[in-house]
């Protein structure tokens, strides 16, 4: 029995020794996301965006004379694991700030922990307004649902002159439900009507029943604010059912996977996004080039947002000259006109990013810029 | 056979090493605290992270032990424990948030957890009465179905947050109350097991027909087991809700039910000690495996987790404890 | 009325996909009385085998055709069958005499292992399944549309059903299978090589899942490592609805499930669409545990 204990001790010391390398000469930042499970593709993109930002920074000498190290924990898409991993990042790994999560649900689970411990948390892509209301240490670099929902409402009503909309939303996704709600409010207040409203659940692959129903209501366009994982199939099946009206969506569409899966079916459709790849700004062009070189894929909007969240954090550390929670918090809150990939980022008094949105159209397999809509 | 045992022992070593490392990591960090004092991050002597893990451990023990009453002692295979937990969690969170927001915390706790348990038991009773004529895998699938229906219904109720989840739930659960709950539940289940009801359950598990002839009403006993088990799962849900402070239906999927079953099976079906041991292993293992991720760079946690389960099933199908009990839990 | 016809077409198409998965499910269950939770994942591996085969083994620029489809189908069936056999040999065979719950836990463990292993190997991001079958959208007039893929899949699931039916009821192998399904011990005593029959059953069941994976990829050209989860569960429910272990029942159950899901989403509410399958499962098991075509006997453990 004794040798058993010894062996365990030796093993555990070895394991412990191999991972407590991060010392005082490094600045540790944390990321929590769903690296496995149904939403893993979003979590992985987000983590990769952060890694890219961090590696670029470290190559240029780091920040405050120190290299930055990332601890990324998986939460399998479960809120209780999200909370636990934030506890671990803050209290065991001593991170100076937390970047995450994609889904508002898991940001809402993790945010109170960051707030209690006075460690700043920047969510790259949680769009529910409640997330940053969790406390003055919680920030985000994306726009919130009310704004993005209104973008398409304005675009469809004012620019395209459409009056009858149908909504097809993902009942499992807070993002999709939120966008739909604010789209509906704005579109109706502008004078349009919502003729049909159906739901699907992320993970489904057959949408024809709902699409047949929506089609029979004869809308002039369909608002489908989901993620590219489902929208490609939805567009395909809509065309197979002879739906010829345009589909419109939000930044969840931004991925090459959408074009691959949707093929010709996504041609001519519109979605709102943070930026356009046609933007000649060097931030945008370098990011796309470097991301491709590092990970071999074209970045989606989640990668761009997480890249920006890391950049905002590094910039704030530089300006604060410190990694202490309260000082860092003040520096992040003072972020103004930061030239990010996803636009010029200014954080308002609610700690939300104020950015303009662009509307893109899918033309010949490319996302073509149509219009900029300001808040 | 010898080969199998060796593999098992090696496996146990790795698990023990990881667990020990996990625990020692906590203490090591505690000591470093003396040097870099960060008082706001600490509650007493233990890091909030380990504190949170211990709270979850306590809740998992309660869940696992309550399921043992069904799966282990009565031989009913159910796969819907997450559903009862969800009902308890949402009931308690709603009652406390909407009806008792200003009451003192012990009133909230008592009313919240009792209501959670009662509602869960009521639903458990209805499900039990309607489905207990079924046996084996079929019962498992029906309870899985009920649990999924409960989850989808909760997802579509806007009052409890819908897809966004329910936020700002008063967080009054602490380690002390969870441990107390765990001890009470363990002793309660032990008492049932050693009493008349427990003997009747065992008889039904061994041979339902024979039990029937001995004058036991199998249906009544099964329903009793179902009601007690779902009551406890509901209470566990209530404690969970008030320790997280946030609820989303993403927590209560089929995977959660399966985790609780795995706790029972790994520890040993039919052993109360096994249920506790299994809960311990399956709570600590995934957290301890985060270290593996640091070394390999890729996330192997779930893969190791699944492999462990398969290996234990193949190498030691009776579970780690088999039918044995620790001394303080044995019937004599 | 036109909507009703369109819903019916959609429902039949959905049902025939479920049927393809349900056939393999019901076959393994028929012999081993084992709910093979990993069946959905074997189906997923089939889809990925097809994807990688058409991506790397076929010359670039291969035009979609029936021949290509058959080749991809064959590749996927081999891939899945190999996996099925490995699972049977290493995970299920050692447990043949163990309690049912242990086998079920192992099956769920294998299923998790394949899901997460798949995410590691194939990546978590969904991938596009190449167009290998020429397809055409037929306008039936009155705003009703029918896809040639839907017809292909519908016909294929019936053909497979007939072949299986023949295999089980008209061949020597089928007789052995049914004997084992009746009683494993007795089959052993009368000299049936139980391991061999179960082995072959797994090959057939898994190959069917592989074929279903490719056809699924053709119908819904988006595949990811978790794609087996929902079709697996739905197929199981379809098999129970028809009477588990019953081959014709599996197809009928699957078509009924597909139709009722479509009608409910179309005429009642799409919110509870995913709950419907479970409601059906519960109702069937409570009211008629043997399924529509099964015996009324309640299964004994």
Q: Which of C104, C233, C234, C283 to mutate to test the interface with B (most CBs of B within 10 A)?
A: C104
Query: How far is residue A237's CA from residue A228's CA, in Å, rounded to a whole number?
Result: 14
Alpha-carbon gap, residue B251 to B232, rounded angstroms: 18
Question: In the beta sheet, which residues pair with residue A200?
Answer: A170
pLDDT at B17: 54
Q: What is the pLDDT of residues A216-258, one digit of tens each?
A: 889 999 999 988 888 999 999 998 888 889 999 988 888 888 8
Whether the per-residue pLDDT at C45 is higher than 90: the answer is yes
Count CA atoms within 13 Å of residue C293 on its CB side: 17
Beta-bridge mates of residue A139: A122
Residue C137: beta bridge partners? Answer: C147
Tokens 């009325």 correspond to C1
Q: Where are the beta strands (DSSP E) in chain A?
A: 26-33, 67-74, 98-99, 121-123, 138-140, 164-170, 193-200, 221-223, 247-249, 270-273, 338-340, 343-347, 353-354, 357-363, 366-373
Task: For residue B114, count other CB atoms closer than 10 A to its CB.
Answer: 16
What is the full per-residue pLDDT of chain B (332 aa) written as tens digits?
Answer: 455 566 666 666 556 655 554 554 444 444 333 333 333 344 456 678 888 888 899 999 999 999 999 988 888 888 889 999 999 999 999 999 888 888 887 888 889 999 999 999 999 999 888 887 777 778 888 898 999 999 989 988 888 888 888 888 888 888 888 888 999 999 999 989 888 888 888 888 888 888 888 888 888 888 999 999 999 999 999 999 998 888 998 889 888 898 898 888 888 888 899 999 999 988 888 888 887 776 666 677 778 878 888 888 888 888 888 878 887 888 76
For A171, which of C7, C13, C271 is closest by C-beta distance?
A: C271
The predicted structure's pLDDT at residue B14: 58
Contact C285, B134 (CB under 8 A): yes
Is residue B175 domain-resident?
A: yes
Q: Which fold has domain C2-287?
A: ABC transporter involved in vitamin B12 uptake, BtuC (1.10.3470)
Split into its structural domains, chain B has a count of: 1
Phi, psi for residue A101 in degrees, rounded to 5: -105, 175
H or E stretch at A67: strand A67-74
E strand or H helix at A338, and its extent? strand A338-340
Best A33, A34, A45, A206 member to test C by mutation, with max C CBs in 10 Å, is A206
Q: Please count the other Cβ atoms lying within 10 Å of the Cβ belonging to residue C117.
A: 18
Among A76, A77, A199, A212, which would you mutate to test the C interface (most chain C Cβ atoms within 10 Å of its Cβ)? A212
C38 within 8 A of C110, measured Cβ to Cβ = yes
pTM for this predicted structure:
0.87
Q: Under a CB-based contact definition with an 8 Å cutoff, are residues B144 and B21 in contact?
A: no
Q: Is C148 in the A-facing interface, judged by CB distances under 8 Å?
A: no
Smallest CA–CA distance, residue A206 to chain C, in Å, is 7
pLDDT at C61 over 70: yes
Considering CB atoms only, which of C110, C282, C299 is closest to B145?
Answer: C282
User: Nearest-CA distance from C227 to chain A in Å?
Assistant: 8
Answer whether residue B36 is part of any domain: no
Unique residue bearing structure tokens 């197809």: C251
Interface check B207 vs C, CB under 8 A: no
Q: What is the CATH number of the domain that holds B116?
A: 1.10.3470
* Domain locations in chain A as residue ranges: 20-143+282-355, 145-273
**CB–CB of B163 and A4 under 8 A?**
no
B282 touches chain C (CB under 8 A): no
CATH topology of domain A20-143+282-355: Rossmann fold (3.40.50)
Residue B15 resides in a domain? no
In CATH terms, A145-273 corresponds, of 3.20.20.70, 3.60.10.10, 3.40.50.2300, 3.40.50.300, to 3.40.50.2300
Do C39 and C81 touch, CB atoms closer than 8 A?
no
CA B197/CA B189 separation, integer angstroms: 11
Query: For residue range A121-142, what is the model confidence (pLDDT) as tens digits?
Result: 999 988 888 888 888 899 999 8
Neighbours of A224 (CB within 10 A): 30
Chain C closest CA to A159's CA: distance in Å? Answer: 29
Facing A205 at nearest CB: one of C222, C263, C266: C222
Residue of C nearest to B131 (CA): C286
pLDDT (tens digit, 9 = 90+) per residue, A153-189? 999 999 898 999 999 999 888 889 989 999 999 999 9
Question: CB A174 to CB B164 under 8 A?
Answer: yes
Domain edges within chain C: 2-287
* In chain C, residues 198-217 whose CB comes closer than 8 Å to chain A: 216
Domains A20-143+282-355 and A145-273 belong to one CATH topology: yes
ipTM field: 0.88
Residue B86 structural domain: 48-329
- pLDDT tens for each residue of C91-125: 888 888 877 778 888 888 899 899 989 988 888 88
Bridge-based pairing state of the strands A121-123 and A138-140: parallel
Residue B109 maps to a domain: yes
Assign residue A299 a region (left: φ > 0; alpha: ψ between -120 and 50; beta: otherwise).
beta
Element (H, E) at A259: helix A256-262
Instruction: Give the pairing type, strands A357-363 and A366-373.
Output: antiparallel
Report angle CA C284, C290, C292 to the nearest 5 degrees: 65
Q: How close is the nearest chain B Cα to the Cα of A277, in Å?
A: 30
- What is the pLDDT, as a whole number, of residue C62? 76
CB B60 within 8 A of CB B266: no
Q: Which residues of A touch C271 (CB under 8 A)?
A: 171, 199
């Amino acid at each position: 029995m004794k040798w058993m204990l010894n062996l365990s001790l030796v093993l555990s010391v070895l394991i412990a020794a191999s991972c407590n390398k991060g010392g005082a000469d490094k600045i540790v930042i944390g990321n929590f996301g769903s690296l496995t499970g149904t939403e893993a593709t979003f979590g992985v993109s987000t983590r990769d965006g952060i890694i890219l930002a961090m590696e670029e920074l470290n190559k240029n000498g780091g920040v405050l004379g120190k290299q930055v190290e990332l601890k990324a924990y998986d939460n399998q898409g479960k809120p209780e694991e999200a909370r636990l991993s934030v506890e671990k990042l803050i209290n065991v790994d001593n991170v100076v700030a937390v970047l995450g999560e994609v889904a508002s649900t898991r940001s809402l689970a993790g945010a109170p922990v960051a707030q209690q411990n006075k460690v700043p948390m920047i969510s790259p892509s949680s769009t529910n307004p409640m997330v940053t209301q969790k406390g003055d240490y919680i920030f985000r670099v994306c726009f919130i649902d009310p704004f993005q929902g209104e973008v398409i409402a304005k675009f469809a009503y004012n620019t395209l002159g459409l009056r009858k909309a149908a909504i097809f939303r993902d009942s499992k996704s807070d993002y999709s439900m939120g966008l739909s709600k604010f789209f509906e409010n704005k579109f109706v207040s502008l004078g349009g009507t919502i003729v049909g409203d159906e739901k699907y659940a992320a993970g489904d692959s057959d949408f024809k029943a709902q699409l047949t129903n929506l089609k029979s209501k004869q809308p002039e366009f369909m608002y489908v604010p989901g993620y590219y994982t489902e929208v490609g199939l939805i567009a395909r099946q809509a065309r197979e059912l002879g739906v010829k009206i345009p589909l419109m969506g939000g930044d969840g569409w931004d991925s090459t996977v959408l074009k691959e899966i949707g093929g010709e079916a996504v041609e001519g459709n519109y979605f709102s996004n943070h930026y356009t790849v046609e933007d000649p700004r060097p931030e945008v062009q370098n990011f796309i080039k470097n991301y491709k070189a590092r990970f071999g894929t074209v970045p989606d909007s989640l990668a761009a947002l997480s890249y920006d969240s890391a950049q905002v954090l590094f910039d704030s550390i530089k300006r604060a000259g410190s990694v202490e929670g309260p000082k860092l918090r003040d520096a992040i809150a003072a972020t103004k006109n930061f030239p990010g990939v996803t636009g010029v980022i200014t954080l308002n008094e609610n700690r939300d990013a104020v950015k303009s949105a662009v509307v893109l159209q899918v033309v010949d397999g490319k996302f073509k810029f149509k219009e900029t809509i300001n808040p | 056979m010898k080969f199998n045992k060796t593999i098992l022992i090696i496996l146990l070593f790795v698990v023990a090493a990881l667990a020990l490392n996990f625990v020692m990591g906590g203490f090591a960090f505690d000591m470093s605290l003396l040097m870099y004092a960060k008082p706001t991050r600490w509650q007493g002597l233990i890091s909030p992270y380990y504190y949170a893990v211990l709270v979850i451990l306590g809740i998992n023990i309660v869940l696992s032990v309550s399921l043992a009453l069904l799966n282990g002692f009565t031989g009913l295979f159910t796969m819907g424990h997450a559903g009862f937990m969800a009902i308890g969690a949402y009931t308690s969170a709603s009652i406390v948030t909407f009806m008792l927001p200003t009451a003192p915390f012990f009133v909230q706790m008592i009313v919240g957890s009792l209501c959670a348990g009662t509602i869960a038991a009521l639903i458990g009773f209805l499900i039990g009465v309607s489905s207990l004529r079924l046996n084996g895998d079929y019962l498992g699938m029906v309870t899985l179905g009920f649990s999924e229906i409960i989850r989808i219904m909760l997802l579509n109720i806007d009052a409890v947050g819908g897809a966004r989840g329910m936020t700002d739930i008063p967080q009054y659960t602490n380690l002390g109350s969870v441990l107390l709950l765990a001890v009470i539940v363990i002793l309660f289940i032990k008492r049932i097991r050693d009493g008349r009801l427990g003997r009747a359950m065992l008889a039904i598990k061994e041979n339902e027909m024979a039990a029937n002839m001995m004058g036991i009403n199998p249906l009544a006993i099964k329903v009793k087991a179902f009601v007690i088990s779902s009551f406890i799962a509901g209470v566990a849900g209530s404690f969970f809700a008030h320790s997280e402070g946030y609820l989303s239906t993403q927590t209560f999927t089929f995977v959660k039910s399966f985790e609780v079953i795995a706790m029972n099976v790994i520890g040993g079906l039919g052993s109360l000690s096994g249920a506790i041991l299994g809960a311990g292993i399956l709570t600590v293992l995934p957290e301890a495996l985060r270290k593996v991720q640091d070394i390999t760079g890729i996330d192997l946690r779930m893969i190791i987790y699944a492999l462990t389960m398969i290996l234990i099933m193949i190498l030691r199908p009776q579970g780690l404890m088999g039918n044995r009990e620790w001394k303080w839990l044995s019937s004599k | 009325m036109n909507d009703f016809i369109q819903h019916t077409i959609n429902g039949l198409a959905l049902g025939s996909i479920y049927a393809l998965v349900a056939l393999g499910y019901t076959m393994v269950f028929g012999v081993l009385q084992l709910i093979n939770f990993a069946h959905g994942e074997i189906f997923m591996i089939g889809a990925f085998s097809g994807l990688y085969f058409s991506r790397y083994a076929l010359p670039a620029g291969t035009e979609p055709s029936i021949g290509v489809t058959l080749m991809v189908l064959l590749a996927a069936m081999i891939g899945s069958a190999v996996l099925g056999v490995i699972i049977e040999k290493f995970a299920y065979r050692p447990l043949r005499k163990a309690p049912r719950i242990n086998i079920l836990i192992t099956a769920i463990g294998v299923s998790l292992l394949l899901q997460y292993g798949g995410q590691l190997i194939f990546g978590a991001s969904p991938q596009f399944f190449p167009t290998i079958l020429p397809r055409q959208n037929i306008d039936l007039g009155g705003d009703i549309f029918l896809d040639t893929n839907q017809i292909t899949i519908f016909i294929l699931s019936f053909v497979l059903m007939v072949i299986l039916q023949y295999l089980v009821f008209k061949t020597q192998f089928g007789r052995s299978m049914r004997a084992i399904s009746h009683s494993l011990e007795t089959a052993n005593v009368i000299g049936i090589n139980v391991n061999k029959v179960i082995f072959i059953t797994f090959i057939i069941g898994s190959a069917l899942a592989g074929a279903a994976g490719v056809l699924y990829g053709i119908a819904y050209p988006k595949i990811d490592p978790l794609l087996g989860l929902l079709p697996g569960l739905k197929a199981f429910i379809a098999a129970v609805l028809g009477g588990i272990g019953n081959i014709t029942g599996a197809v009928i159950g699957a078509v009924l499930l597909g139709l009722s899901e479509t009608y409910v989403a179309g005429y009642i509410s799409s919110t509870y669409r995913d709950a419907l399958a479970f409601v059906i499962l519960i109702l069937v098991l409570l009211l008629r545990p043997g399924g529509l075509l099964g015996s009324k006997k309640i299964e004994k453990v």
